[in-house]
Structure 1
Amino acid sequence: MKKVLIVETNVEKYGDSYEATGLWLGEAAEFVDELNKAGVQYDFVSPKGGYVPIDPRSMKYIDGSIMKIYSNRDFIVPEAVTTPHYTTVTSAQAEYIDDLITRATEIESGSVKPYEDNMLKIVGENRKLTLDMRALDDSIYSDIDSDKLNQVVANVFQIYQENDEKKSTQMIFSDQSVPYKYRNSQTYNLDGTINTFSAYDEIKAKLVARGIPEQEIRFIHEATDKNKEAMMRDMRTGKIRVLIGSTSKAGTGLNVQDKLIAVHHLDVPWRPSDITQRNGRIIRQGNENPLVQIHFYITKGSMDSFLWQTQEVKKNFIE
């Protein structure tokens, strides 16, 4: 079966001017119409992903047949609204961050050996504490020592209720603290005991406690060669309402956009392309929602803000 990849523009203006440009609607629509007549499958992409502007001059030449194609949800890329959510550090997080700063100072001064402590370890611990303190040690810390997951759960549940009639779906991304059942290796507390905390498991338990049926919340880690397509079909039809996954497992290769209304970023991936891949699950043709939501969760006073700013600088440099 032949398949055509159609690359659409993200350019809205000519150079530094204010003159608008974009996709010439008639040409694109007529091309798609010919592919449909020939029985050729196709998919749309754009260099930056997401919103594709329409050249305003092309609107003068459209007719009913063009608008019919344009109105097809397989032709339209939804517009995304991005919302950052901030939580303040708790006393436990602030105390641990102060300790990390002290350790970083010692590392820079050369008073500790790299095998004793290093900046990579500090960044790793900071990423855990901004997600949930229990990711560092579930024997010392409890639910009251972090607030990000509670905020995520509240937002996911609100969106779930607001879009219950349409059976709209949501995705939650976190590259850390995966389901305990699906870990490839153990993580340990500061005293050497096994850490069984999982942000995935915690989010699911809290959503179920609020009233979402357990079978409507799934982890991408549950997918196998035998059941993956069935899971994706359940997402496309709204049988699964919340899918939680990592960038590596859920950031690519999933066509689940049909009812996707919101994507939630719990943590900061390492590369700008990872963010694009995550958002690419929702900002794509075939989504029945013309307006979708992207949510970022940031713990103020931690490295969260710095890491998100670093990603933006990397993205601008690459572009």
Structure 2
Amino acid sequence: MRTRFARFHNLPELMTIFKECADIKTADDLELNVPEAVFENIAAEPSNTQKELMKGLSERATKIHDKLVDPTVDNMLKVTSDGRKIGLDQRLMNPLLPDEDNSKVNLCVDKVYDIWQNTAEDRLTQLIFCDFSTPKNDGSFNLYDDVRDKLIAKGVPKEEIAYIHDSIPMQKSKRFLQRYAKAMCVCFSDQLQNAVQVLMCRTN
């Protein structure tokens, strides 16, 4: 049996001990000059195919609850995972399904392209976070390549689009940063911490 660290207990007491050897400053203490975030929620209506697929998930969940299916064949973890796939893009369930014009992915592509056009003079960088359907370099369908290809088709230069994986391990990051130091680029990432680290290096 393996054990691993899961969570801290007695966090206030732990923080008190930590402060004996550390000087903690919050953003408010430092009065950092940070940009004001502007949030925009864009709703994507489910396609008829997605609705049908979701009904199938409900039927599977009922069978699992009634113990009519072997857990090694189907279980709630698989149902939940498939639900995330369907919600993101139905082609993650089957690449042969239609590429709906108003899907989340295509709405994202349109928004990214609009921002790319409108910020051309400032040469700003966009980050797209997607922790599902990362590229495996085996020719299989994935959303990273799908979004990239659609942006290129709209007119975004291929050399201005990068995957965060291109900068990891860190010994490759210098070459990655040199490549995009002066380029306006769209950067795909499934790892928030690594993406922020790369951008911090890029802007220093």
- Quick one: distance in 2 between partners of 1:197 and 1:146? 19
Q: Describe the SS at the equivalent of 1:76.
A: coil
Distance apart, 1:132 and its partner CA:
1.4
The partner residue of 1:110 within 67, 74, 87 is 67
The partner residue of 2:153 within 193, 209, 218 is 209
2:35 maps to what in 1?
78
Kindly tell me the number of residue pairs found equivalent between the two proteins: 182
Q: Describe the SS at the equivalent of 1:218.
A: strand
Q: Describe the SS at the equivalent of 1:144.
A: coil
AA aligned opposite 1:115: T
- Quick one: distance in 1 between partners of 2:161 and 2:192? 19
Higher normalized strand content (fraction of residues): 1
1:144 maps to what in 2?
100
- Quick one: distance in 2 between partners of 1:145 and 1:121? 27
Q: 1:199 aligned to 2:147?
A: no
AA aligned opposite 2:58: I
TM-score by length of 2: 0.78
2:84 maps to what in 1?
127
The partner residue of 1:87 within 33, 38, 44 is 44
The 5 Å alignment of 1:284-303 reads: none
Cα 1:78/1:206, change in 2 over 3 Å: same
Work out whether residues 124 and 184 of structure 2, in 8 Å CA contact, stay in contact via their aligned partners in 1.
no
Cα 1:158/1:145, change in 2 over 3 Å: closer
TM-score by length of 1: 0.51
Distance apart, 1:249 and its partner CA:
7.2
Q: 1:178 aligned to 2:196?
A: no
Q: Describe the SS at the equivalent of 2:156.
A: coil
Work out whether residues 92 and 145 of structure 1, in 8 Å CA contact, stay in contact via their aligned partners in 2.
no
AA aligned opposite 1:97: M
- Quick one: distance in 2 between partners of 1:130 and 1:257? 34
AA aligned opposite 2:52: E
1:154 maps to what in 2?
110
Higher normalized helix content (fraction of residues): 2
Distance apart, 1:232 and its partner CA:
3.1
Cα 1:80/1:248, change in 2 over 3 Å: closer
Work out whether residues 113 and 151 of structure 2, in 8 Å CA contact, stay in contact via their aligned partners in 1.
yes
Cα 1:108/1:145, change in 2 over 3 Å: farther
Q: 1:227 aligned to 2:183?
A: no
Larger RCO: 1 or 2 (CA < 8 Å, sep 6+): 1
Work out whether residues 173 and 198 of structure 2, in 8 Å CA contact, stay in contact via their aligned partners in 1.
no
Cα 1:127/1:121, change in 2 over 3 Å: same
Quote the RMSD (CA, aligned, Å). 2.7
Q: 1:218 aligned to 2:162?
A: yes
Q: Give 5+ residue unaligned stretches, structure 1.
A: 10-21, 29-53, 55-74, 184-194, 260-285, 287-319
Q: State the Cα deviation string for residues 254-286 of structure 1 (Å, max 9, x = none).
A: 334867xxxxxxxxxxxxxxxxxxxxxxxxxx7
Distance apart, 1:114 and its partner CA:
1.2
Cα 1:81/1:257, change in 2 over 3 Å: farther
Work out whether residues 234 and 240 of structure 1, in 8 Å CA contact, stay in contact via their aligned partners in 2.
no
Percent of pairs with identical residues: 30
Work out whether residues 178 and 200 of structure 1, in 8 Å CA contact, stay in contact via their aligned partners in 2.
yes
AA aligned opposite 2:130: S
Q: State the Cα deviation string for residues 206-242 of structure 1 (Å, max 9, x = none).
A: 000110100000111222444312323554x441511
Cα 1:164/1:76, change in 2 over 3 Å: same
Distance apart, 1:88 and its partner CA:
0.9
Cα 1:102/1:197, change in 2 over 3 Å: same
- Quick one: distance in 2 between partners of 1:83 and 1:233? 32
Cα 1:219/1:112, change in 2 over 3 Å: same
Cα 1:5/1:97, change in 2 over 3 Å: farther
